[in-house]
Amino acid sequence: MTYAPHKLVPEGFTSVPSLAALPAVNAASAVPDAVDAVAYIVTSDGDLPSVVAASRESLAAAGFEAETGTSIVLAGSGAPIVLVGIGAADEVTVDIARDAGAAAARATAKKGTRLAIVTDDLGLDAAALARALAEGAQLARYRYRALKAKPKDNALGELTLVVTGADEAAVASGIAAAVPGVRASVVARDLANTPAGFLSAENIADEAVSLGAAFGFEVEVYDKAALIELGCGGLLGVNAGSTDEPRMVVLRYKGGSDKHLGLVGKGIMYDSGGISLKPSDPMHLLMKIDMGGAAAVLGAFTALRDLGATANVSGWLMCTDNMPSGSATKLGDVLVARGGTTVEVKNTDAEGRLVMMDALVLATEDAVDAIIDIATLTGAALMALGKSTAALFGNDQALVDSVRAASLEVDEPVWQLPLEKKYRKALDSDIADISNMGGPFAGATTAALFLSEFVGETPWAHVDIAGTMQAETDESWRSAGATGFGARLLAQVAKEF
């Protein structure tokens, strides 16, 4: 099934197209006639494709030695031919193949909408190879086009994979296996790239309802009155300065087994910092992506049915913006979380943990077997691990290891950091049970320690995606803008749970 939701823009934008469906991807034994470009995957030490008249020496002189991710366009009659390097034959992995698919898609982006990729099996399982190529090509050609009347780039409309010598049915199965994960990432990217003025907490709740109907999960939406009744003081406190109501969106996927996984996503639709106002710098501009955790959870849910996940999976999306106003939560105020824990607010820009604490308590009350939360939580995670790797914490090593294994499967890297309990005292408060801000050091760890206070004995893992939420430029299959990091990762964990 393709992904074609309704517009994430206000009524009246009639010239703006709906968000694009995923391209058609097919397996074939030969390149079809109706293509706009053909990409050949080339190793640095094997034979060149028979269609290439040039020698290795002449290609090297032109700067192409078939190193991983490199490409060259060859002139000739008919559809343009692009050679895409994948490095030494004995070093090719599935991740490298995914990057090659991305390179092929990027190198042909200006040639048209119909692309064929030709390769041998590169020593890989044909289905795994096809899945990687399909993922890389589709995710690399992703662009957020909803607000451009005349996009300058070509959307990928049709992709044909030709794996010479491989069973075509195996290639087709790999293509089918790619669809749920690609869709999950595209949903997350679309949501996170949408400007906050077009995507409020109420809007994302509506999107969840539509996606649930399309992809087989139930959705419960809690408005402000319901949140007051539930005692969700964290979400309500962060919302206090906003003119838009908050929403808690609860997702339910029924896999049929007796296992129950809980997923919690931070959904700060826009983060001004509240009274602790952020400086007006490029990072402030990115704060529409501060709901990337909620977007990842919602994206993951669109994949569960097609992945055949057997666990029951529940998701909590904690959605509001964080704005300064006369009614906003002030520094020194005390909020009461679901369950009664009192929290002194020492910094209103440490708001993500406040909205998530309510959800973590609700998840434990729901008797889940494990909880994974995901959030654009701390600049400290970005400073420690950069923009390619997310920080991972947890109180249960088996669960942490399952997240690490899933990250390797989908190439969304994580790195486990210590949940050092010696730092817990940094969160002490003189007037409340805990404060929402630690000291100047180990910010990612103290944020994780704060969250751990609300999970009790339930196995729990925390993924901080503050560094990986966004790419400044195109990088492999990660397109510039919101990356959708975590959607494929969470879907993979749920599939194996």
The predicted structure's pLDDT at residue 13 = 39
Q: Measure Cα distances from 293 to 78, 192, 297, 332, 393 in Å.
A: 45, 9, 6, 27, 15
Write the pLDDT tens digit of every residue in 185-231: 999 999 999 988 888 999 999 999 999 999 999 999 999 999 999 99
Using an 8 Å Cβ cutoff, are 469 and 385 in contact? no
Cα 397 from chain centroid? 23
CB 140 within 8 A of CB 471: no
User: Would you list the DSSP string of 68-121?
Assistant: TT-EEEEP-SSS-EEEEE---GGG--HHHHHHHHHHHHHHTTTT-SEEEEEE--
pLDDT-derived band at 475 (thresholds 50, 70, 90) equals confident
Delineate the domains of the chain, giving CATH numbers in brackets.
Answer: 24-179 (3.40.220.10), 195-496 (3.40.630.10)
From the candidates 106, 353, 478, 495, give the one annotated as an active-site residue: 353
From 254, 278, 387, 424, the catalytic residue: 278
CA pair distance 328, 324, nearest whole angstrom: 6
> What local confidence, expressed as pLDDT, does residue 3 receive?
42
Q: What is the C-alpha to C-alpha distance for residues 302 and 468, in angstroms, rounded to an integer?
A: 21
Beta pairing class for 342-344 and 481-482: unpaired
What are the DSSP E strand ranges found in 273-352? 312-322, 334-336, 342-344
DSSP state of 250: E
Q: How many CA atoms within 13 Å lie on the side-chain side of 157?
A: 11
Report the phi/psi class of residue 489: left, alpha or beta, with left for phi > 0 and alpha for psi in -120 to 50.
alpha
Q: For position 5, what pLDDT does the model report?
A: 41
Whose CA is closest to 155, among 51, 19, 261? 19
Q: Is the pLDDT of residue 239 over 60?
A: yes
Active site residue 56: no
* Average pLDDT of span 70-82: 83
Q: What are the structure tokens assigned to 347, written together?
A: 């910094």
Please give the pLDDT value at position 76.
67
For 444-457, letters b (16+ CB in 10 Å) and e give bbbbbbbbbbbbee
Q: What is the CA radius of gyration of the chain?
A: 23
Q: Determine the Cα–Cα distance for residues 356 and 497; give it in Å rounded to an integer.
A: 22
Q: How far is CA 224 from CA 16, 166, 202, 240, in A?
A: 32, 56, 11, 11
Identify the band that residue 9 occupies on the pLDDT scale cut at 50, 70 and 90: low
With CA atoms as reference, report the closest residue to 265 among 236, 291, 227.
291
Phi, psi of 357 (to 5 degrees): -60, -40
Cα separation, 431 vs 418, whole angstroms: 28
Furthest-apart CA atoms within the chain: distance in Å: 77
What are residue 39's DSSP bridge partners?
82, 117
Q: What is the pLDDT of residue 220?
A: 98
Bridge partners of 289, per DSSP, are none
Stated as kind and residue range, the H or E segment containing 140 is: helix 126-140
Q: Are 332 and 435 in contact (CB under 8 A)?
A: no
**pLDDT value, residue 282:** 72
Helix axes 397-410, 487-496, angle to 10 degrees: 120
Give the pLDDT confidence score for residue 495 in this predicted structure. Answer: 97
Of 73 and 234, the one with more pLDDT: 234
Degrees to nearest 5, angle at CA 153 with 64 and 34: 75
Work out the average pLDDT over 152-174: 90
Query: Angle between the 168-193 and 126-140 helix axes, to the nearest 10 degrees?
Result: 30
Each residue of 445-474: pLDDT tens digit?
Answer: 999 999 999 999 999 999 999 999 999 888
Q: How many angstroms from the chain centroid is the CA of residue 224? A: 27
**For 17-67, how does the pLDDT look when each residue is reduced to its tens digit (9 = 90+)?**
334 468 889 999 899 888 999 999 999 888 888 888 888 899 999 889 999
Q: Distance between CA atoms of 115 and 97, rounded to whole angstroms?
A: 16
Mean pLDDT of the chain: 91
Instruction: Compute the distance between CA of residue 254 and CA of residue 217 in angstroms, rounded to an integer.
Output: 7
Specify the DSSP class assigned to residue 478: B
Is the CB of residue 397 less than 8 Å from the CB of residue 413?
no
Please determine, for residue 2, whether its predicted confidence score (pLDDT) is greater than 60. no
Q: What is the pLDDT of residue 12?
A: 45
Provide mean pLDDT across the span 160-166. 92
Q: How many angstroms separate the Cα of 428 from the Cα of each of 134, 203, 237, 432?
A: 50, 37, 20, 8
278 counts as catalytic: yes
Answer for the pair 159, 203: CB distance below 8 angstroms, yes or no: no
| Confidence at residue 6, expressed as pLDDT on a 0 to 100 scale | 38
Phi and psi at 382, nearest 5°, equal -65, -45
Say what the pTM is.
Answer: 0.93
User: What is the C-alpha separation between 408 and 258, in angstroms, rounded?
Assistant: 27
